[in-house]
Chains A and B, each alone.
Chain A
Amino acid sequence: MAMEMRLPAARKPLSERLGRDTKKHLVVPGDTITTDTGFMRGHGTYMGEEKLIASVAGSVERVNKLICVKALKTRYIGEVGDIVVGRITEVQQKRWKVETNSRLDSVLLLSSMNLPGGELRRRSAEDELAMRGFLQEGDLISAEVQAVFSDGAVSLHTRSLKYGKLGQGVLVQVSPSLVKRQKTHFHDLPCGASVILGNNGFIWIYPTPEHKEEEAGGFTANLEPVSLADREVISRLRNCVISLVTQRMMLYDTSILYCYEASLPHQIKDILKPEIMEEIVMETRQRLLEQEG
């Protein structure tokens, strides 16, 4: 049996470790962004005393004449076309309420859901009664944002075979601002597992299904036992994601993959130790910089 002992040590500030030259313009609520009145004010700012003042804590983004502040720690703010992973909290009359780490519960209408078998027909009263058979409270689903209501609530749809109920896997909850916006959020990693990077910060890591099921429409959860090798890959990926998050790195398929490869020499449980975490993420960062530059 191995026992670990750790003495308290001062934490090094993040910027020192990164050694970055390009500093983001970070502001806290109440900070003046600029006194130039020529700019249009976007989200996260307000005009006060001839100055543009920030109302959230985050980084300043400027697009031509528009200045907005993107909050670093925020709830998920839905945008049309985002992929989200959510948990069903309520089954209501013609819809499900889904928890997606946003300010209001998201809504999945019965009419936005694919019927098993891919039929296209009007949803009848029987469909309504059979709702619980499809999705119950506590189930995890992957869906796409169809529309955003005026109060900020998000309406989801699962109108494609790649969306639907999620079966066996591991859910990692991170801040939504760390998930990079990409063309596709469903990745089959070459290391042997698949990952869904939800824009709302819910990351789902699951074993790659052997063959794509066409008919199910994503409702039957595959409950066959997962092999040990797959489980190890998934745990390692999960620990890698957590180490990337603690070091505040953006999450996308390449960064997760590089981090996985960098972590291979270590044992899975060692990845969560602060020193090893730093080491792995440093290596990942190097590789990413090389790849870009």
Chain B
Amino acid sequence: MKETPLSNCERRFLLRAIEEKKRLDGRQTYDYRNIRISFGTDYGCCVVELGKTRVLGQVSCELVSPKLNRATEGILFFNLELSQMAAPAFEPGRQSDLLVKLNRLLERCLRNSKCIDTESLCVVAGEKVWQIRVDLHLLNHDGNIIDAASIAAIVALCHFRRPDVSVQGDEITLYTPEERDPVPLSIHHMPICVSFAFFQQGTYLLVDPNEREERVMDGLLVIAMNKHREICTIQSSGGIMLLKDQVLRCSKIAGVKVAEITELILKALENDQKVRKEGGKFGFAESIANQRITAFKMEKAPIDTSDVEEKAEEIIAEAEPPSEVVSTPVLWTPGTAQIGEGVENSWGDLEDSEKEDDEGGGDEAIILDSIKMDTGVEVSDIGSQEQKSYKELGTRLAEKTEGDAPIILSDSEEEEMIILEPDKNPKKIRTQTTSAKQEKAPSKKPVKRRKKKRAAN
């Protein structure tokens, strides 16, 4: 299938956002997405997730005769495949450009940098050497394939164990994993690619572009480095003119990022090693979280709340008297309600509410506790009891609150929040929609509850 073209509006929006140093997922300019490394049951099998981009890496080995001009060196073979499930645009015949570019980059990064000691792969000079084959499959494309692929490749290579071989005179003995523990490969260093996307002719740069950002970028700079700050490969594509200091700056950033990623990789390898030694369960099945919603899940975005206190003080100081606040919820249909009127936010208005503080403070605390208790009851024991207790609470609160002023706890800015009573037995909703409707009518007394302190604005 061909790719749907990006509309002009979207393109302009992305570029404008980047000019204002904003990224769609809330990251900073130099932030990487969350990297997750999980290992399979076999040695040499791993899945690396860079945000939503997923790459599966598998290393395998075979005894072959060496190349004629390199009789004492083992053979390395790298292959990256763009699976059709990665993106609708990837079709068996149609990926050549991108595929060739990625494969070449990966080869230069791993082969030319001599990160793997090929001499140690030699068994009998001129006759038998190990051929190590690294297969990478892109499972999902959400931008920055090359970084994810390079991490997957190096992790798989570090994780891999080849069968032990011993040579006695003319005899070669190949031990099975049962006879002798397999031996890890000899890896000198871990080169990792870091991608920089450039926008507006090199004015703005982003690290780890995601799929949307890649579509609107002008050019891409890929630097492959190891943690000793040695550059293994550097490639600039897209034809943008980069200044010398830009490239130097990028290499410094890459140094920092590579150090972090290498640490992460070593930790992951160590964890896996530990689990295997202790005889615990390992493999992909263990790394997948059960009983959890994993589709359409948004990662938590880190927000800086260090200056919230000051901002809150400012707002409180400048606040005007609160406007009329309607507290009752509007129930549209069973299962949906609206709180608030949709008029402007009156959160900054706290002068009246501060007065109520002292009066309402003590009582609210008690009611809060009883509410908490009841929620415990509600979850475990679904019955008419909860209806009664809610009614009680409702009336109690109604007594305390006179008129429509909001109830607050201490100095937090709050508005009333009404909790909808869920249907008696949520599981039965499907079959008993009509009965649920009737049940709803009597138990309309909503529970007034406190909202926790929110970060100001």
Contacts and interface: CB of A to CB of B under 8 A. Distances in A.
Contacts, number: 59
Interface residues of A, number: 21
B335 A2 contact: no
A153 interface: no
A105 B340 contact: no
Interface stretch (A3-11, A33-41, A154-162, A208-216): A3-11
B11 A138 contact: yes
A162 to B, nearest CB: 22
Contacts of A5: 336-337, 339, 420
B239 interface: no
A283 interface: no
Given A89-B5, A99-B4, A10 B429 contact: yes
B336 A275 contact: yes
Contacts of A2: 338-342
A9 B420 contact: no
Interface in A1-43: 1-10
B423 interface: yes
Contacts of B423: 7
Nearest to B6: A138
B443 to A, nearest CB: 14
Contacts of A139: 8
Nearest to A101: B4
B88 to A, nearest CB: 13
A283 B339 CA distance: 27
Interface residues of B, number: 28
Residue among B8, B334, B420 with the highest chain A CB neighbour number at 10 A: B8
Given A5-B420, A87-B7, A138-B11, A275 B345 contact: no
B332 interface: yes
B291 interface: no
B422 A1 contact: no
A236 B347 CA distance: 30
B333 interface: yes
Contact of A3 (B8, B335, B339): B339
A41 B338 CA distance: 54
A105 B336 contact: no
Contacts of A89: 5
A137 B335 CA distance: 46
A138 to B, nearest CB: 4
Given A1-B347, A7-B422, A99-B2, 7 more contacts: A2-B338, A4-B336, A7-B423, A10-B430, A99-B5, A105-B2, A138-B11
**Would you list the 5 A-B pairs with minimal beta carbon distance, nearest first?**
A2-B342, A2-B340, A10-B430, A7-B335, A138-B8
